[in-house]
Structure 1
Amino acid sequence: MACGLTVANLYYSQPLLDLIADSFHVSQGAATVVVTLTQVGYAAGLLFLLPLGDLVENRKLTTRMLGGTAVALLLAAVSPAYSIFLVVSVLVGVTSVVAQILVPLAAHLAPAEQRGALVGKVMSGLLLGILLARTVSSLVAEVWGWRAIYFISAVLMVVLAVVLRRMLPVRPADHTAGYGSLLRSVGTLVREEPALRRRALSQATLFGAFTAFWTAIGYELIDEHGFSQGAIAVFALIGAGGALAAPVAGKFADRGHGKVASGGALLLAALMLILAAVGHGSVIVLAVAGILLDFAVQAHQVMSQHEIYALRENARARINTVFMTTVFSGGALASALTGVLHDRYGWTGACVLGAVLALIGLGVWATGLRATRAAAPAHV
Structure 2
Amino acid sequence: MISGMLTGILFARTFSGVIATVLGWHAVYGLAALINLILVIFIHRWVPDDPRTPVQSKRYSTIISSLPKLLKKYRYLRSSSLNAFCMFGITNLFWSTLAFFLVKYFNYNSAVAGNMGLLGIVSIFAAPFIGQMVNRYSPRVNITISWWLGVGACVIFSIFTHSIYLLMAGIVILDLSTQFSQVTNQAIIQSLSRKSNSRNNSIFMFSYFLGGSLGTLVGINAWSAFGWSGVMISAVIFLAVALMNFFLGVPRKLK
- TM-score, scaled to structure 1: 0.60
- Which runs of 5 or more residues in structure 2 are unaligned? none
Structure-1 residue corresponding to 2:70: 189
1:159-216 deviations in Å (ceiling 9; x for gaps): 5456556765554359634233222211111111111001011111111111111111
- Separation in 2, partners of 1:148, 1:246: 32
Q: Equivalent residues in 2 for 1:166-177 (5 A)?
A: 168=47, 170-172=49-51, 176-177=57-58
Instruction: Specify which of 122, 126, 145 is matched with residue 264 of structure 1.
Output: 145
1:350-376 deviations in Å (ceiling 9; x for gaps): 02211331232133123334x648xx9
Q: Given the alignment of the two structures, is residue 275 of structure 1 paired with residue 162 of structure 2, yes or no?
A: no
Residues 184 and 170 of structure 1, relative CA distance in 2, 3 Å threshold? closer
Residues 308 and 273 of structure 1, relative CA distance in 2, 3 Å threshold? same
1:15-43 deviations in Å (ceiling 9; x for gaps): xxxxxxxxxxxxxxxxxxxxxxxxxxxxx
Deviates more, 1:326-335 or 1:219-228: 326-335
- Separation in 2, partners of 1:300, 1:223: 31
- Separation in 1, partners of 2:115, 2:62: 47
Structure-1 residue corresponding to 2:18: 139
Q: Given the alignment of the two structures, is residue 294 of structure 1 paired with residue 175 of structure 2, yes or no?
A: yes
- Separation in 1, partners of 2:116, 2:182: 23
> % of aligned pairs identical?
25
Structure-1 residue corresponding to 2:28: 149
Structure-1 residue corresponding to 2:2: 123
- Separation in 2, partners of 1:340, 1:167: 41
1:226-278 deviations in Å (ceiling 9; x for gaps): 00233222223223323234332223223354431121111110221122011
Residues 269 and 317 of structure 1, relative CA distance in 2, 3 Å threshold? same
Is the 8 Å Cα contact of residues 147 and 177 (structure 2) preserved in structure 1?
Answer: yes
Is the 8 Å Cα contact of residues 274 and 355 (structure 1) preserved in structure 2?
Answer: no
Q: For residue 357 of structure 1, what is the amino acid of its counterpart?
A: F
Is the 8 Å Cα contact of residues 245 and 299 (structure 1) preserved in structure 2?
Answer: no
Residues 329 and 310 of structure 1, relative CA distance in 2, 3 Å threshold? same
1:111-149 deviations in Å (ceiling 9; x for gaps): xxxxxxxxxxx1111012112212101112333333433
Residue aligned with 2:161, SS: coil
Residues 343 and 160 of structure 1, relative CA distance in 2, 3 Å threshold? closer
- Separation in 1, partners of 2:172, 2:183: 17
Q: Given the alignment of the two structures, is residue 349 of structure 1 paired with residue 230 of structure 2, yes or no?
A: yes
Is the 8 Å Cα contact of residues 146 and 181 (structure 2) preserved in structure 1?
Answer: yes
Structure-2 residue corresponding to 1:68: none
Structure-1 residue corresponding to 2:199: 318
Instruction: Specify which of 185, 190, 194 is matched with residue 309 of structure 1.
Output: 190
- Separation in 2, partners of 1:250, 1:167: 30
Instruction: Specify which of 285, 299, 316 is matched with residue 166 of structure 2.
Output: 285
- Which runs of 5 or more residues in structure 1 are unaligned? 1-121
Q: Given the alignment of the two structures, is residue 364 of structure 1 paired with residue 224 of structure 2, yes or no?
A: no
Q: For residue 60 of structure 2, what is the amino acid of its counterpart?
A: Y
Structure-2 residue corresponding to 1:331: 212
Q: For residue 142 of structure 1, what is the amino acid of its counterpart?
A: T
1:48-97 deviations in Å (ceiling 9; x for gaps): xxxxxxxxxxxxxxxxxxxxxxxxxxxxxxxxxxxxxxxxxxxxxxxxxx
- Separation in 2, partners of 1:248, 1:162: 36
1:287 positional shift: 1.2
- Separation in 2, partners of 1:297, 1:130: 12
Q: For residue 345 of structure 1, what is the amino acid of its counterpart?
A: F
- Separation in 1, partners of 2:195, 2:97: 40
- Separation in 1, partners of 2:113, 2:45: 37
Give the CA RMSD over aligned residues.
Answer: 2.7
- Separation in 1, partners of 2:42, 2:219: 38
